Amino acid sequence: MLAVGTKAPEFTLPDQNGHPVSLADFRGKKVVLYFYPKDNTPGCTRQACAFAQAHSEFETLGVSVIGISKDSSASHLKFASKYSLPFVLLSDPDLTAIQAYDVWKEKKLYGKITMGVVRSTYVIDENGIIEAAMEKVKPDTNAQEILEHLKR
């Protein structure tokens, strides 16, 4: 994980509609940047839906939510449409942001070691500085934990 207080790495990635989105586009606004392994999997779906259910609270606080995985824009579009996700999903098949944010790690599943995205969330302040960093977050509680942090 990147350290709290450091500058968040810049990136430009395509969203679910194929349009380029940069972190710099959100300067002056807080951003919740959450990294997840794969569209339409049980944990990732629960996490995305929890962020969707809390979306109005994030908007009230003036905070943008962005989800990033290595899935394609087309996969993101289907995922966002199927679950009515009201926030931006970014496609990072080349692992540009995923590696820059240090969430591409060794994972062990049933004794087999593979590389993959560790479910992680960053809160980035209005000036592009990391305000909070949470690794190995739980899909069901992540959105509420972030809201609690933002309300402090």
Q: Which domains does the chain have, with CATH numbers?
A: 12-151 (3.40.30.10)
Q: What is the mean pLDDT of the chain?
A: 96
pLDDT tier for residue 16 given thresholds of 50, 70 and 90: very high
pLDDT digits (tens, 9 = 90+) for 35-56: 999 999 999 999 999 999 999 9
pLDDT tens digits, residue range 62-110? Answer: 999 999 999 999 999 999 999 999 999 999 999 999 999 999 999 887 8
pLDDT of residue 126: 97
Alpha carbon distance 108, 148 (integer Å)? 31
pLDDT at 114: 92
Q: What positions carry a catalytic annotation? A: 44
What DSSP letter does each residue of the chain carry, written as one string?
-PPTTSBPPP-EEEBTTS-EEEGGGGTTSEEEEEE-S-TTSHHHHHHHHHHHHTHHHHHHTTEEEEEEESS-HHHHHHHHHHTT--SEEEE-TT-HHHHHTT-EEEEEETTEEEEEE--EEEEE-TTSBEEEEEES--TTTHHHHHHHHHH-
pLDDT at 136: 93
Residue 152 has pLDDT above 90, yes or no: no
